[in-house]
Chains A and B, each alone.
Chain A
């Protein structure tokens, strides 16, 4: 049973455009929703995270939108740059720090 579903699997955006990646979860016990960025040959790196008592969090060009009733959250990358080309993972955490990851979205930003 996949507890965190991520879409799309891949995304191509022009430089300067907005990249949007969506995730949906099932378990209402999740209380922490991070996004990770992973470059080839590297481990995932925490990008931004949100708690369920907040509907939106913005850090620079990255924004998380959170809809608790729909059990959905999304990552928006404004003014996407070629350097943003990477794989992005959403995750949901709960309990003693256990996180469940989505299957990732490969983002390609074309110059």
Chain B
């Protein structure tokens, strides 16, 4: 079974530029998550999708971040314009379940550096 795929793995941009990350979850997983992991901290949930609908985006900075999962499969997270504090690893995870156990499977992440 293939794992969660993410691309690119690394991205360096200047502040005020835009960037997009792509995630393809494990086949059949209805729930998809985007997390932000700042160095030295645990992952922080940005947005959660159930199929192509948003379940939770309460911690997504909506003035600059957007995400979509149009066909209920792969997803794109965009930052426009980027700020220095957006430098982090962006993790995508997927889950087969919406109830316990909430087993999440993570991709390798995209390391973003904003200069």
Chain A interfacial positions (CB closer than 8 Å to B): 4, 6, 31-32, 34, 36, 41-46, 49, 51, 89, 91, 93, 96-104
Contacts and interface: CB of A to CB of B under 8 A. Distances in A.
Contact of B102 (A6, A44, A97, A101): A97
Interface in B72-106: 91, 93, 95, 97-106
Nearest to B35: A101
A96 B108 contact: no
B101 A101 contact: no
Contact of A43 (B42, B97, B103, B108): B108
B101 A49 contact: yes
A102 B42 CA distance: 6
Nearest to B50: A96
A34 B102 contact: yes
